[in-house]
Amino acid sequence: MNPVKVILIAGRSIKQGKGISHGKHTAEYKDAVSTLQLSKEDMASLGVENGNSVRMKSDGGEVVVQCKGAKLPEGVAFIAYGPMSSALMGRETHGSGMPDSRGFEVEVERVD
């Protein structure tokens, strides 16, 4: 299967928020911040199912996470804030102090 390009949205989730309090070492937190949500169209394009591993690459770096189907527009992906989303951020802040933290392009490919 060919990689797909998506716009990555990083943000808060309930599991991630609870995980901050319960401990970043807990399985709950790690699972929350290491799960990429994809549209059903992008899941089909990649040939992946819930729980499969995918590699995400951006100008900032690359990480391997598990994927999960979600109600999202095709070409838009979501991941909860955490070490994985941070690893993909770019360093450029465009004179604002704020790095490109969401809404940037990421290439996703299946990891067999």
Partner 1 sequence: MSTDSQTNDSHTGASQAVAPPTNAQTFENVICAFCGCVCDDLSVTVEGDRITKTARACVLGKAWLEGHTEESDRAAAYVDGQPASVEKAVEVASDILAKARYPLIYGLSSTYCEAQRKAVALADLLHGNVDCCTSVCHGPSGMALQSVGEPTCTLGEVKNRADLTIYWGSNPMESHPRHLSRYTSSPKGLFRPGGKKDRTMVMVDVRPTPSSKQANIFLQVKPGKDFEVIWALRALVQGRTVRESAIAETGLTLEQLEDLTERMKSCEYGVFLIGQGLTQSNGKHMNPAALFLLVRDLNAHTKFAVMPMRGHGNVNGIDSVMAWQTGFPFGVNFSLGYPRFNPGEFTSVDLLCRHEADACLVVAADPIASFPRLAIERLKQIPLIAMDAHESETTKVAKVAFTTATTGISAAGTVYRMDGVPLRAPKLLPSPYPNDEEILTQMLDRVKQLKNIPQAN
**Rounded-to-integer distance, Cα 6 and Cα 46, Å:** 12
Of 1 and 83, CB closest to partner 1: 83
Query: In whole angstroms, how close is the CB of 84 to partner 1 at the nearest point?
Result: 10
Stretch 16-45: interaction string toward partner 1, x if CB under 8 A:
-xx-xxxxxx--------------------
DSSP state of 72: -
Q: Which helix (H) or strand (E) holds 85?
A: helix 83-88
Q: Which helix (H) or strand (E) holds 73?
A: none
Backbone phi and psi for residue 36, each to the nearest 5 degrees, phi listed first: -95, 125
Out of 1, 27, 64, 87, which residue is the one contacting partner 1 (CB under 8 A)? 87
Residue 36 · residue 79 · CB < 8 Å: yes
Query: In whole angstroms, how close is the CB of 70 to partner 1 at the nearest point?
Result: 9
Q: Which residues contact partner 1 (rule: CB under 8 A)?
A: 7, 9-14, 17-18, 20-25, 60-61, 71-73, 76, 78, 81-83, 86-87, 89-91, 93-104
